A and B are shown apart, each in its own frame.
Chain A
Amino acid sequence: MKINVEFVGAINPGPYKKKQSFEVKDKATVKVFLETLEHIDKGHLSFVQVVCNGTRASHTQLLKEGDRLELMLMVGGG
């Protein structure tokens, strides 16, 4: 299935465009999708907030065809 993803703010899009479509397996969770983004350090994934179709999604949420995700990295400077 296809989902649409936008990398917002401080999160590095790596080899992808800022707005990019991804193919993911059926019944994939947000976490499974995030782990496919190999340019993001695995230790940083807990700090990625995901908004799915306008509502904050937990990393255990199941994805579905056509979902629109926005990924934001919580930043730590002060």
Chain B
Amino acid sequence: MVDLARYEKQILFKPIGRNGQIRLGQSKVGIIGVGALGSNLANILCRAGVGRIILADQDRVELSNLQRQMLFTERDIGHPKAIRAARRLTKINSDVAVEAFFEKVSQENFVELFKDSDLLFDASDNFPTRFLINDMSLKLGIPWVFSGVTASSGQSMLIVPTKTACLGCFIPDEDPGENFPTVNNSGIIASIVASIASISAAAGIKYLMEKTADSNLVYFDVWQQEFFKTKIEASLNCLRCRSEKLRSK
């Protein structure tokens, strides 16, 4: 039996309330990637009382991760991120069932890992994986939150199959190729990770409460203090979601 006293202040927040808190406790989410975004997202969602959290990542913790990957300590170095994150999350909130998979998410294991999820969070570090999430989300009918961060910038968008634009509607190519700004060549500060993870977690929790989506892309640069929100319309020419759109009519 979950003690709702833990969530007293969150329940006071009217859009969630007691019923919303119970709904959160009955929800299952998947987080693809347990690096910077993934560990921040998992921290927020676990503390918020999401009932089941699935973590998947094939990497091990490195010293250079500790600057921004909030769930890890020096004792975790060399160990699988997903496993160590799950251990930490269980200590933070034992009401939450956390399942960890030390493996790369692929087309082959996607359904097995994330079937029956209410919502997925993209915390990957490359666009091909994001397009895998996009395409599997369309196939399985599972909404997901697109996130990305580099340097001091990041973006977030809730994508709901047949209700909002999909990733292919506004990014037509899967892979930007060489010289694209990445964490490895442009660096990253922890503030943008925490900011985008917070925006994405809030969008996800709101979706679990209300089951609505506004198709807004949020773009934020924490260093320049620039914040943009723009509505993304579904593209009728998008080959990825066009068949799903037609099917839903």
> Out of B176, B177, B221, B231, which one reaches A10, CB within 8 Å?
B221
Q: Please tell me if the beta carbons of A74 and B148 are within 8 angstroms of each other in the complex.
A: yes
Q: Please tell me if the beta carbons of B35 and A78 are within 8 angstroms of each other in the complex.
A: yes
**Complexed CA–CA distance, A8 and B221 (Å):** 8
Instruction: Tell yes or no: B226 within 8 A of A by CB.
Output: yes
**Interface size class of chain B, counting residues whose CB lies under 8 Å from the partner chain:** 35 or more
- CB proximity of B197 to chain A, nearest CB, Å: 10
**Complexed CA–CA distance, A74 and B217 (Å):** 10
Q: With A75-B150, A76-B127 in contact, do A70 and B228 touch (Cβ < 8 Å)? A: yes
Q: Mark A60-78, 1 if CB is under 8 A from B, else 0.
A: 0000000000101111111
Q: Please tell me if the beta carbons of A44 and B180 are within 8 angstroms of each other in the complex.
A: yes
Instruction: Tell yes or no: A29 within 8 A of B by CB.
Output: no
User: Please, which residues of chain A bring their CB within 8 A of the CB of B150?
Assistant: 10, 75-77
- CB proximity of B126 to chain A, nearest CB, Å: 6
Number of inter-chain CB pairs below 8 Å = 107
Q: Please tell me if the beta carbons of B148 and A76 are within 8 angstroms of each other in the complex.
A: yes
User: Please, which residues of chain B bring their CB within 8 A of the CB of A41?
Assistant: 176-180
Q: Please tell me if the beta carbons of A44 and B228 are within 8 angstroms of each other in the complex.
A: no
**Complexed CA–CA distance, A75 and B156 (Å):** 10
- CB proximity of A10 to chain B, nearest CB, Å: 4
User: Please, which residues of chain B bring their CB within 8 A of the CB of A75?
Assistant: 148-151, 153-155, 181
Those of B5-60 within 8 Å (CB) of chain A = 33, 35-38
User: Please, which residues of chain B bring their CB within 8 A of the CB of A56?
Assistant: 170, 217, 230-233
**Complexed CA–CA distance, A44 and B178 (Å):** 9
**Complexed CA–CA distance, A38 and B125 (Å):** 27
Those of A14-34 within 8 Å (CB) of chain B = none
Q: Please tell me if the beta carbons of B217 and A49 are within 8 angstroms of each other in the complex.
A: yes
* Most chain A CB inside 10 Å of its own CB: which residue of B38, B123, B154: B154
> Out of A44, A70, A76, which one reaches B125, CB within 8 Å?
A76
Q: Mark A29-58, 1 if CB is under 8 A from B, else 0.
A: 000000000000101101101010001101
* Most chain B CB inside 10 Å of its own CB: which residue of A10, A47, A58, A70: A10
Q: Mark B89-100, 1 if CB is under 8 A from A, else 0.
A: 000000000000
Q: Could you list 15 examples of A-B contacts with CB < 8 Å? A: A8-B226, A9-B221, A41-B177, A43-B173, A43-B178, A47-B171, A70-B228, A72-B219, A73-B181, A75-B154, A76-B127, A76-B176, A77-B182, A77-B183, A78-B36
